[in-house]
Amino acid sequence: MRAFTNRTARKFALLGATATAGLLLSACGTDDPMSGMDHGGTSASATATATASASASASGTAEAGAPGAFNDADVMFAQMMIPHHEQALEMAELADGRAEDPEVKRLVAAVKGAQDPEIAKMRAWLKGWGKPESAGHGSGSGSGSGSGHGMSGMMSEQDMKDLAAVKGKAFDRKFAELMIAHHEGAVAMAEDERKDGGNTAAKALADDVVRTQSEEIAALRKILDRL
């Protein structure tokens, strides 16, 4: 009886040791899968973060540069309209101390307020598109003539000298005459962009140019009628 009891005790002791070892192995095995899950989650999170950062970077680049797809007509529009706007600003600057008519002064302020920001916008587009600001386009003439890619409505050097040489009502009349021709050239260029351009933002600017400068042409003609 005593021998049976001793054998039974040893058997239970062996079973207990085996169970304990199994539990220890199980605990160690449990740590590894959990650790692996953590690593997998961290990897997925890092991948998502990297993707989000890349998307944000790409979005920022698009906003800073070209606003979408473009074609050659969009590039030409920006390259030609920048110097065209710059000359309009030069004409507006000449009004300081020379213009007399309140309506002329109001239109001068409108030109300054609209065209300077538009120049900055078009320069940003060209930079984003990887295109030069100037493509060697001709300047046209004060009568709006020109050949090839000449810019319709551009004033000649003599036109600018004549405008700078007068004051008061004489300046107002000369300014109105020259700015009508200048605006008509801008409207023609904008109409070409609306027809041939592919970039949404550039075509929207062309719409604005046609609308605002057509309204200013009508106002300038009324000024000429009463001066």
What is the DSSP track for 17-42?
Answer: HHHHHHHHHHHHHHHHHHHHHHHHHH
Q: Are residues 41 and 139 in the same domain?
A: no
Do 219 and 121 fall within a single domain?
yes
Whether pLDDT at 144 is above 80: no
| pLDDT over 50 (residue 82) | yes
* Averaged pLDDT of the chain: 76
pLDDT at 151 over 90: no
Quick one: 193 and 221 in the same domain? yes
208 shares a domain with 116: yes
CA dihedral 23, 24, 25, 31 (to 10 degrees): 110
pLDDT of residue 150: 60
Of 24, 46, 64, the domain-final residue? 64
CATH number of the structural domain spanning residue 131: 1.20.1260.10
37 & 76 share domain: no
In tens, the pLDDT along 27-63 reads 444 444 444 444 444 444 444 444 444 443 333 334 4
Asked if residue 126 and residue 73 are part of one domain, the reply reads yes
Q: Count CA atoms within 13 Å of residue 88 on its CB side.
A: 33
**Cα distances (angstroms) measured from residue 125 to each of 61, 64, 162, 172:** 12, 8, 34, 35
Domain that holds residue 82: 67-226
Q: Work out how many domains the chain is built from and give that number.
A: 2
Residues 12 and 29 in one domain: yes
Is residue 102 located within the same domain as residue 203?
yes
Q: Are 70 and 198 in contact (CB under 8 A)?
A: yes
Q: How far apart are CA 67 and CA 55, in angstroms?
A: 16
* Tokens describing residue 137: 């386009």
**Mean pLDDT, residues 84-109:** 96
Residue 180 clears pLDDT 90, i.e. is over it = yes
**34/132 same-domain check:** no
Report the pLDDT averaged over residues 104-109: 96
For residues 90 and 189, membership in a common domain is answered with yes
Mean pLDDT of 118-140: 84
SS (H, E, C) 68-107: CCCCHHHHHHHHHHHHHHHHHHHHHHHCCCCCCCHHHHHH
User: Quick one: 75 and 179 in the same domain?
Assistant: yes
**Is this structure's pTM higher than 0.75?**
no
Domain-ending residue, one of 22, 43, 64: 64
What is the identity of the amino acid at 94? L
pLDDT at residue 134 in the model: 84
pLDDT at 95: 96
Q: Is the same domain home to 56 and 88? A: no
Q: How confident is the model at residue 66 (pLDDT cuts 50, 70, 90)?
A: low
Of 74-83, 111-120, 132-141, 169-178, which gets the smallest average pLDDT?
132-141
